[in-house]
Amino acid sequence: MSATLLIEQLINGLQLGTMLFLMASGLTLVFGVMGLINLAHGSFYMVGAYVTALATASTGSFLIGLAAGTLAAAVAGGVVELLVIRRLYRRPHLDQVLATFALILIFSEGTRWLFGSSPLWLSPPEWLSGSVALPGGSRYPVYRLMIIAVGVLIAAGLYLLISHTRLGMRIRAGESDREMIGALGIDIQRLYTLVFALGAALAGLAGSLVGALQSVQVGMGEPVLILAFVVIVIGGIGSIKGALLGAVLVGVVDTLGRIFLPALFGHFMSPSEAAGVGTALAAMLIYILMAVILAFKPQGLFAAHD
Amino acid sequence: MNKLTRAGLGLLMTTAIATAQAEEVRIGMITTLSGGGSHLGVDVRDGFMLAIDQAQRDDIEVLIKDDARRPDLAKTLSNEFLQRDEVDIMTGIIWSNLAMAVVPSVVRQGTFYLSPNAGPSALAGRLCHENYFNVAYQNDNLHGAMGAYMREQGFERPFLMAPNYPAGTDALAGFKHLYEGEVADELYTQLGQTDYAAEIAQIRASDADSLFFFLPGGMGISFMKQWENSGVDMPVFGAAFSFDEIIIKAVGSAAIGAINTSEWAYDLDNEANQAFVEGFRAAYERTPTLYAAQGYDTARLILSALDKAHPDDQDAFREALRQADFASVRGKFRFGPNQHPIQDIFVREVVEGEDGEPTNRLVGLAIEDIQDVYAEQCQM
């Protein structure tokens, strides 16, 4: 194993991590502020990818597609909050899980009804395709570097939004005591709609970005959603900082584990056995990581409500 | 065949039809019409129904149900077909794990099962049954043929990659069975994985001279798109499962140049195939995939057997199926002793079509008359 390969895999892990952060930040924001478990978060990811694919195909511009996808996810989030989520805040978490699971089915079947079950075609634009040289002679896709850059920008933007703006102040206040900020005359219903739409927009952006890398198809959000839940549990539920650290941790551990565990077992097993054991263990690795972290810090790395 | 015998046969067949028509035939189809990979089931259904519609017989009833790729649901549906609807023949299943849940009990209860896609090794060997026919292939066929082809083309260190589940490990085993050489490395990915950055880095770091992969459905789309922008320069090979017309359109230009094996191609030059492709395009406004071809062949095989006997006369109907007396869209087609096909496997290349979108073009023959290795284990 060479240093070049290790560097490339670390960047891969970082890229997966920034993508997970986009998903997990919205999820953790909605849980932290409103106390709502939203399983339908992956559906906004899918909405973003589909709208981006359609808008890119009809306008020919990937940037317009990206903007349209993010906006469409935000709108979908706002509408879902007004129609469904609003009725769930005071209900137990099990009701929220059931209702938002129903939303997943409605979104998936609706998408299939509209666009059929064949995947859509979305590719990165010309100016983002290809690869650049890495130190050590290897190459890395430009598009993935762009995803990392977008993730870093969003993380910085969220930090500024939450700690330096009036809206951010209200969001933080809503996290601590929702009755009190309502009593202070802030329209808490509108605040909730806004936060929910913001979370949906982040998921939509993640879906749009990843859609050009993977396949745009029905149900694409669910595997990512599971990883995003692991991220917020590790990072501490409700904490944006925790989501960022958790996402990078999960991204790097998952990527390195997938490659190096089978290789490790290969030293003292036959290649096919090592592949079997190594791959199986790699699939479990992030859950083992989660269990270990929770054993020492039951609230996650950055508990929002200590 | 001279004109006189042909006329005589025709006369015989009409009398046979007349007797068969006395009783209706019910065919139960369970296939995947929703969830991941549903375009496979849709194509099997459409190909199958095209042949049924073309036959214009009013004594055949086809009942179609969606298994949503769930083994438990498929099992429930098959019980309904057997007990309530009393179907004579069943078909349709796409996935090997679903086939294993359904087929053994169906054939044991005296109903015929004709597989239009799934071909798990157990059903070709140890668990073979006189009422089970596979009209598509044994799962290893296409991978093995690619192994033989790559060997013949002079590749010496292929990198192998497949998802970590039974069909994935079978695929690589099948490949190695006919490749008989050294491989650079083998890599198993998670089933349903969508990000392959780590795997691509691994392939780049190896000293392989080529890549063979089996990643069906959306997994293959994701992989090929990421492969294109990775800057790795290596010829890519696979089985048709990752390169059907629907998948390569979603992959886009990244698929161009990939070589794949298939027992059928839409530009295969024979009369039955031309009629099929034209008919399919006219009926559904798209180019058929190999799944559609398999569905079509399955229906045509059933029709050819129904011309000779009704499924109620089990022995006669089984014998009629074994003869495979129909013009397959693949050209040559016959059953081996385990009632799996002995057939030619072709090589196709993904090229840019006239409309600018990628499409498959027939390049040549990978292997002639391939038979699966499990036939020896079959005691019938």
Same domain, B148 and B254: yes
Please report, rounded to a whole number, the percentage of residues in chain A having pLDDT higher than 90.
58
**Candidate from A129-133, B109-113, B127-131 with smallest mean pLDDT:** A129-133
Please report, rounded to a whole number, the percentage of residues in chain B having pLDDT higher than 70.
94
Same domain, B88 and B128: yes
In a domain, B7, yes or no: no
In a domain, B119, yes or no: yes
Q: Where are the alpha helices (DSSP H) in B21-134?
A: 38-55, 71-80, 96-108, 121-124
Kindly state the tokens that stand for A13.
């892990």
Same domain, B227 and B328: no
In a domain, A65, yes or no: yes
* DSSP assignments along chain A, one per residue: --HHHHHHHHHHHHHHHHHHHHHHHHHHHHHHHH----TTHHHHHHHHHHHHHHHHHHHS-HHHHHHHHHHHHHHHHHHHHHHTGGGTTTS-HHHHHHHHHHHHHHHHHHHHHHH-SSPB-----GGG-SEEEPTTS-EEEHHHHHHHHHHHHHHHHHHHHHHHSHHHHHHHHHHH-HHHHHHTT--HHHHHHHHHHHHHHHHHHHHHHHHTTS-B-TTTHHHHHHHHHHHHHHH-TT-HHHHHHHHHHHHHHHHHHHHHHHHHHTTTS-HHHHHHHHHHHHHHHHHHHHHHHHHH-TT-SS-S--
Q: How confident is the model at residue A1 (pLDDT cuts 50, 70, 90)?
A: low
CB atoms within 10 A of CB B17: 14
Q: Is the pLDDT of residue B26 over 70?
A: yes
| Sequence-separated (6 or more) residues with CB below 8 Å from residue B192 | A223, B36, B163, B219
| Residue A201: C-alpha distances to residues A15, A42, A72, A243, B164 (Å) | 19, 11, 8, 17, 34
Contact B164 A16 (CB under 8 A): no
| Sequence-separated (6 or more) residues with CB below 8 Å from residue A197 | A74, A75, A77, A78, A81
How many folded domains does chain B comprise?
A: 2
In a domain, A303, yes or no: no
Report pLDDT for B246. 87
How many folded domains does chain A comprise?
A: 1
In a domain, B304, yes or no: yes
Chain A residues touching B187 at Cβ < 8 A: 262, 275
Q: Is the pLDDT of residue B8 over 60?
A: no
Pairing mode, strands B341-352 and B334-335: antiparallel
Nearest-by-Cβ selection for A144 from B197, B222, B249: B197
Report pLDDT for B252. 86
Give the mean model confidence (pLDDT) for residues A25-51.
Answer: 92
**pTM for the predicted model, two decimal places:** 0.81
Report pLDDT for A102. 96
In chain B, what is the straight-line distance between the N-terminal and C-terminal CA atoms, in Å?
Answer: 33
In a domain, A47, yes or no: yes
Nearest-by-Cβ selection for B249 from A121, A131, A282: A121
Higher-confidence residue of B3 and A139: namely A139
Distance, in Å, from the CA atom of A66 to the CA atom of A52, rounded to the nearest integer, reads 5
- Per-window interface: A 246-285 vs B, CB < 8 A: 255-256, 258-259, 262, 271-272, 275-276, 279-280, 282-283
C-alpha count within 13 angstroms, C-beta hemisphere, residue A248? 13
In a domain, B378, yes or no: no
Give the mean model confidence (pLDDT) for residues B345-349.
Answer: 96
In a domain, A285, yes or no: yes
Contact status of A129 with chain B (Cβ, < 8 Å): yes
Distance, in Å, from the CA atom of B64 to the CA atom of B204, rounded to the nearest integer, reads 46
Same domain, B198 and B284: no
* DSSP assignments along B106-139, one per residue: HHHTT-EEEESS---HHHHTTT--TTEEESS--T
Chain-wide mean pLDDT for chain A?
Answer: 90
Q: Is the pLDDT of residue B16 over 70?
A: no
Q: How confident is the model at residue A201 (pLDDT cuts 50, 70, 90)?
A: very high
Report pLDDT for B355. 87
CB atoms within 10 A of CB A172: 15
| Sequence-separated (6 or more) residues with CB below 8 Å from residue A39 | A97, A100, A101, A103, A104, A225
**Candidate from A263-277, B128-142, B185-199 with smallest mean pLDDT:** A263-277
Q: How confident is the model at residue B20 (pLDDT cuts 50, 70, 90)?
A: very low
Q: How confident is the model at residue A302 (pLDDT cuts 50, 70, 90)?
A: confident
In a domain, A37, yes or no: yes
In a domain, B201, yes or no: yes
Same domain, B320 and B195: no
Kindly state the tokens that stand for B342.
């002995």
Of A1-10, A122-131, B59-68, B249-258, give the range with the top mean pLDDT.
Answer: B59-68
In a domain, B70, yes or no: yes
**Candidate from A262-271, B119-128, B301-310 with smallest mean pLDDT:** A262-271
Q: Is the pLDDT of residue B1 over 50?
A: no
Same domain, B132 and B155: no
User: Tens of pLDDT along A73-129?
Assistant: 999 999 999 999 999 988 999 999 999 999 999 999 999 889 887 788 888 888 998
Q: How confident is the model at residue B127 (pLDDT cuts 50, 70, 90)?
A: very high
Q: How confident is the model at residue A138 (pLDDT cuts 50, 70, 90)?
A: confident
In a domain, A175, yes or no: yes
In a domain, B350, yes or no: yes
In a domain, A306, yes or no: no
Contact B246 A119 (CB under 8 A): yes
Distance, in Å, from the CA atom of A117 to the CA atom of A101, rounded to the nearest integer, reads 20
Same domain, B93 and B131: yes
Report pLDDT for B18. 46
Report pLDDT for B2. 54
∠ CA B19-B20-B24, rounded to 5° = 130
Same domain, B31 and B131: yes
Give the mean model confidence (pLDDT) for residues B71-89.
Answer: 95
User: Tens of pLDDT along B42-61?
Assistant: 999 999 999 999 999 989 99
| Helices A188-211/A62-83 angle, 10° precision | 140
| Residue A131: C-alpha distances to residues A112, A210, B230 (Å) | 34, 17, 6
Higher-confidence residue of B329 and B190: namely B329
Same domain, B95 and B155: no
In a domain, A302, yes or no: no
Higher-confidence residue of B114 and A281: namely B114
CATH number, domain of B188, equals 3.40.50.2300
Chain A residues touching B188 at Cβ < 8 A: 262, 275-276, 279
Higher-confidence residue of B231 and A43: namely A43
Residue-number span of the structural domain to which B162 is assigned: 140-262+345-370
Same domain, B283 and B331: yes
Same domain, B363 and B224: yes
User: Tens of pLDDT along B257-295?
Assistant: 999 999 999 999 999 999 999 999 999 999 999 999 999
Distance, in Å, from the CA atom of A118 to the CA atom of B243, rounded to the nearest integer, reads 14
Q: B352 vs chain A: nearest CA distance in angstroms?
A: 15
Same domain, B222 and B359: yes
CATH number, domain of A208, equals 1.10.3470
Q: Is the pLDDT of residue B17 over 60?
A: no
Report pLDDT for B34. 79
Q: How confident is the model at residue B21 (pLDDT cuts 50, 70, 90)?
A: very low
- Evaluate whether A56 touches A64 at the Cβ level (below 8 Å): yes
Residue-number span of the structural domain to which A199 is assigned: 3-296
Q: Is the pLDDT of residue A237 over 70?
A: yes
In a domain, B182, yes or no: yes
Report pLDDT for B7. 54
Q: Is the pLDDT of residue B221 over 70?
A: yes
Residue with tokens 């459905």: B217
Nearest-by-Cβ selection for A217 from B199, B218, B251: B218
Q: How many CB pairs under 8 A join A and B?
A: 124
